[in-house]
Chain A
């Protein structure tokens, strides 16, 4: 960024009367050289030396000083070298012709060289202006906030105007360099002229205007008021201010768009949550109601095995609803920070078995491997919360893996209790490994119609962390997804 700042040539070239002084100096140098040559070579035909001085002045200082140098050189040459010396008179016609021709040639050469030099200077200055605008424009494009655009515009404007700048768009004015005294009054609103206007104490202003809308005011003041700004410079300032105005509009639109997108995302999340809750509550309810009404309407026509199966469905689905409601409650507690854990030692294997038992009917047909440590793994925490946390992981595995694939639950106990639940499904994309613990993440199915709130694993992590543990996911070499839950181990043995 810094290197992109407008880099105007410091007073490398002289300004105003100094150029004429320098032109005079050139002629003086010519005179000294002539004097030297006169003494050593004893010749008075040294008009070329003066001519050289004039050309040097022209190339260096431009056409005005060149004419001045030509006239001065003519005077000095006449006065100093042409016989009779130290008079401005001349005797011979030859001298008159030489002097006249010298004057004409000096004027012509100086003028031409000076004009070439002026043109080069203008071209250079335009190139610098173009570069400056390009750099500013590039920088503006990368900025997204209105405040940032204001700050950078003020900085660029201060550099281009070689002084101080202020950008005001209704809110607090942005000053550059910071801490300067802003102009006492600035024109405001539509009443202000769009053209550049003078206000107090050397400040100039221009309205920030884009698409016909007035956004605010830009003001600047050159540090020195010795010379009036050139047309090119004024033009550059104006283009820069207009460029900044456009960038401001763009930043405003971009900010508004971000805000709208955030709102839309929140709205989408809320709708997803509502529809998921409604689905997750109604799905078990549908099975319960269908089973209960079937028993009521057809009870005597069903044999006892069918009746028992329907009653099992009712029980299991009611328990499933209860788990879902507990999840919702826990989520609310986690969100509001109201979850209080009363740590107590408990046997992790018992809790894991209980979680597996809840899901027994849905685990039918799957191979479930349990690996337990030799001694009971005793963790410190809340067994009910852990059961909920493990149920969520298991339900997730059931939901997202093919029906016939196996599951394994492994418990290890050292200074921590580590519970690893591994499935043999398709896993998740590696970049999503952390996201599966985010709320509403639904394993690549967010866009499809896989139902469920996408809350399970986020609640698991919340519950485990509330107990001082951690939950991580891994993609093992053998495929599937592994969820590892770590809990603090109880130091004292279970009584």
Chain B
């Protein structure tokens, strides 16, 4: 059974989420404060954390920072705020993904699955990523669409590889820049947009209405999860 820690000071939301999470096979424990969450993680580690950023005792970002000092548990941020800066900061501190409140249960469950799978991928040795007609072979650096090989520049390949490794989860502009241009480069987010546009031209049926490589406005990009 997968243990899930839900950190939110709204008992009503916990009450609303618990049945569906239980039905999906998660063992749900709840914490109302940041300190409670940290204590629960220390006593009985969960496999995934759903964390609200606005907690009564401390900033949710602080909870992420403290947890990341010793655990790599996937953290999914629940944010009722439409402050992109907060979410970017949370992701940069080591959160795996975010979901905007209010959300439907299906969307939440998909994000939780992606967060758990992404965590597995980081350590597993699967060399191939498949989603719809897209196939990426990390060993041979070959990208095919419906069996046809797609020619990508080295930067385009680095971009799609980074997104594929985090498939289903958001990757911030900053993280993409670090992965494609190197951590020390001072490239602007505009360059990422241009590069994403080029990749979409080659991979998407309609690059104006992308189905694979999705935009998270103001934050970054997300590649659809593997089938």
Q: Using a CB–CB distance below 8 Å, which chain A residues touch chain B?
A: 275, 278-279, 282-291, 293-294, 297-298, 301-302, 306, 309-310, 313, 316-317, 362, 445, 448-451
Number of A-B contacts (CB under 8 A): 90
B82 and chain A: residue at smallest CB distance: A278
Type the 1/0 row for B46-80, where 1 means its CB is closer than 8 Å to any CB of A: 00000000111111100000000000000000101
B81 to A: closest C-beta gap in Å: 6
Known: A283-B10, A287-B10, A449-B58. A310 touches B16 (CB 8 A): yes
Sample of 25 A–B contacts (CB below 8 Å): A275-B81, A278-B80, A278-B82, A279-B54, A279-B81, A282-B101, A283-B13, A286-B10, A286-B16, A287-B15, A288-B16, A289-B102, A290-B17, A290-B103, A291-B16, A294-B105, A298-B19, A298-B23, A298-B105, A306-B19, A313-B12, A313-B15, A448-B56, A449-B56, A449-B59
Decide: A293 and B104 in contact? CB cutoff 8 A: yes
- Residues on B with C-beta less than 8 A from A306 are 19
Decide: A309 and B104 in contact? CB cutoff 8 A: no
CA distance A306 to B108 in the complex (A): 19
Decide: B15 and A309 in contact? CB cutoff 8 A: yes
- Residues on B with C-beta less than 8 A from A317 are 12
Decide: B13 and A286 in contact? CB cutoff 8 A: yes
Known: A297-B105, A449-B55. A278 touches B81 (CB 8 A): yes
- Residues on B with C-beta less than 8 A from A278 are 80-82
A316 and chain B: residue at smallest CB distance: B12
Decide: A294 and B20 in contact? CB cutoff 8 A: yes
CA distance A451 to B101 in the complex (A): 15
- Residues on A with C-beta less than 8 A from B11 are 362
Decide: B19 and A285 in contact? CB cutoff 8 A: no
- A290 in complex: contacting residue of B54, B58, B82, B105, CB < 8 Å: B105
Decide: A286 and B80 in contact? CB cutoff 8 A: yes
CA distance A302 to B57 in the complex (A): 34
Decide: B102 and A290 in contact? CB cutoff 8 A: yes
- B54 in complex: contacting residue of A293, A301, A302, A451, CB < 8 Å: A451
A437 to B: closest C-beta gap in Å: 22
CA distance A200 to B108 in the complex (A): 85
- Residues on A with C-beta less than 8 A from B60 are 449
B141 to A: closest C-beta gap in Å: 39
Q: A297-B106, A316-B12 are in contact. List 19 more A-B contacts (CB 8 A).
A: A282-B101, A283-B101, A285-B102, A286-B78, A286-B102, A287-B13, A287-B16, A290-B102, A290-B104, A291-B16, A293-B20, A298-B20, A301-B23, A309-B15, A310-B16, A310-B19, A313-B16, A317-B12, A448-B58
Decide: B102 and A288 in contact? CB cutoff 8 A: yes
Type the 1/0 row for B183-225, where 1 means its CB is closer than 8 Å to any CB of A: 0000000000000000000000000000000000000000000
B22 to A: closest C-beta gap in Å: 9
- Residues on A with C-beta less than 8 A from B103 are 286, 289-290
- A449 in complex: contacting residue of B12, B54, B78, B101, CB < 8 Å: B54
Q: Which of B123-161 contact A (CB under 8 A)?
A: none
- Residues on B with C-beta less than 8 A from A294 are 16-17, 19-20, 105
CA distance A316 to B82 in the complex (A): 25
Among A282, A288, A290, chain B packs the most CB atoms within 10 A around the CB of: A290
Known: A317-B12, A450-B56. A290 touches B108 (CB 8 A): yes
- Residues on A with C-beta less than 8 A from B58 are 448-449
Q: Which of B79-126 contact A (CB under 8 A)?
A: 80-83, 101-106, 108
- Residues on A with C-beta less than 8 A from B55 are 449
Decide: B105 and A283 in contact? CB cutoff 8 A: no
Decide: B102 and A282 in contact? CB cutoff 8 A: yes
B22 and chain A: residue at smallest CB distance: A306
A122 to B: closest C-beta gap in Å: 68
- Residues on A with C-beta less than 8 A from B83 are 275
Decide: B80 and A282 in contact? CB cutoff 8 A: yes
Decide: B80 and A279 in contact? CB cutoff 8 A: yes
Type the 1/0 row for B32-57, where 1 means its CB is closer than 8 Å to any CB of A: 00000000000000000000001111
Known: A290-B104, A298-B19, A302-B19. A445 touches B82 (CB 8 A): no
- Residues on B with C-beta less than 8 A from A450 are 56
B78 and chain A: residue at smallest CB distance: A286
B80 to A: closest C-beta gap in Å: 4
CA distance A260 to B57 in the complex (A): 31
A163 to B: closest C-beta gap in Å: 63
Among B10, B82, B83, chain A packs the most CB atoms within 10 A around the CB of: B10
CA distance A362 to B11 in the complex (A): 9
A282 to B: closest C-beta gap in Å: 4
- Residues on A with C-beta less than 8 A from B105 are 290, 293-294, 297-298
CA distance A464 to B175 in the complex (A): 54
A6 to B: closest C-beta gap in Å: 57
- Residues on B with C-beta less than 8 A from A451 are 9, 54
Decide: B12 and A287 in contact? CB cutoff 8 A: yes
CA distance A290 to B19 in the complex (A): 10
- B80 in complex: contacting residue of A283, A288, A291, A301, CB < 8 Å: A283
CA distance A294 to B14 in the complex (A): 13
CA distance A284 to B102 in the complex (A): 9
A309 and chain B: residue at smallest CB distance: B15
- Residues on A with C-beta less than 8 A from B10 are 283, 286-287
CA distance A290 to B57 in the complex (A): 25
A320 and chain B: residue at smallest CB distance: B12
CA distance A208 to B127 in the complex (A): 79
CA distance A340 to B103 in the complex (A): 39
- Residues on A with C-beta less than 8 A from B59 are 449
The 4 closest A-B pairs by CB, nearest first: A293-B104, A286-B102, A294-B20, A289-B102
- Residues on B with C-beta less than 8 A from A291 are 16
Among A289, A301, A302, chain B packs the most CB atoms within 10 A around the CB of: A289
